[in-house]
Amino acid sequence: MSRPKIRTSLRQRRRNLNKNQQRQNAKKISSRLNHFSALRRAKRIGVYLSNDGEIDLMPTIKKIWQSGRQCFLPVLNKKQRGHLFFSPYKHKQKLVKNRFGIPEPKYSIRKMHHVRQLDVILMPLVGFDRRGNRIGMGGGFYDRTLAYLGINGSYKRPKLIGVAHSIQEVEQLPVQNWDIGMQVIATEKEIIRV
C-alpha cells in the first residue's frame, strides 16, 4: 500500500476513536511516559498540541510543568520554510493559530529555540512500525527539522519519542531516504524501545 493510502487509513482509524477512548489512551500514555527514565531526566521537552485524533499530551504536559521542567511547542519557521523552531510553552499562555489552524506560541525570533537545544521531543505519529519508522501528516516538517541527525539515528540529543494509539501500528512502513526514525514509541499499551 502507498504512503498516502496508509496515511488516510490510519488517520481515519484514530479519528474513529470516541472521546472516552481518546481520553483513556492519553491518561495511560501519560502514566507510561512519566515513569519512563529518559523523559524523567529530560529538562527541556518538545511537545505538541493534539490535532486530528492525535494523542492529547495535556496530561503529560501538566506533569512536566508540575515537576518544574520546561515544555516547548513547535512553531512554523518563517525564515526557513518547511522547518520548525521550538518556543517555550507555559501554563495559560496565549497561543495563535498557524496557517494549518494549529495553536502555537506567537512568533518571536528571540524566544525561538533550535531543536538541538531540547533533550527530548514527543512527536505525533499517524503510523509507526516496530523498527521505529514513522509516518506523519505528510508535510515533512519534523523530517526537515531533524535532518541533521541522520537516518540511522546515531545521535544522542534530542531523544525522539513517537506518541500514538496502539491501533496506529502497522507491520512495516515504506521508508523514504529522508525519513527520521524514532528511538522510542509510546502507546497506551507499552513503551517500545527501537
| Per-residue cell: 178 | 529522508
Residue 24 amino acid letter: Q
Between helix 19-34 and helix 58-66 the angle, nearest 10°, is: 30
What's the pLDDT at 155? 57
The model's pLDDT over 17-43, given as tens digits with 9 standing for 90+, comes to 999 999 999 999 999 999 999 999 999
What's the start-to-end Cα distance of the chain, in Å? 23
Cα 130 versus chain centre, distance: 17
* Backbone phi, psi, residue 21, to 5°: -60, -45
What's the pLDDT at 154? 53
> Residue 37 sits in which domain range?
3-193
What CATH number is associated with residue 80? 3.40.50.10420
**Is residue 118 over pLDDT 80?**
yes
Counting residues of the chain whose pLDDT is more than 90, the rounded percentage is 71
pTM: 0.92
The model's pLDDT over 45-95, given as tens digits with 9 standing for 90+, comes to 999 999 899 999 999 999 999 999 999 999 998 888 889 999 999 998 999
pLDDT class of 2 with cuts at 50, 70, 90: confident
Domain count, the chain: 1
| Per-residue cell: 106 | 506567537
**Is residue 153 over pLDDT 60?**
no
Residues near 159 by beta carbon (within 8 Å), at least 6 away in sequence = 38, 42, 119, 120, 121, 183, 184
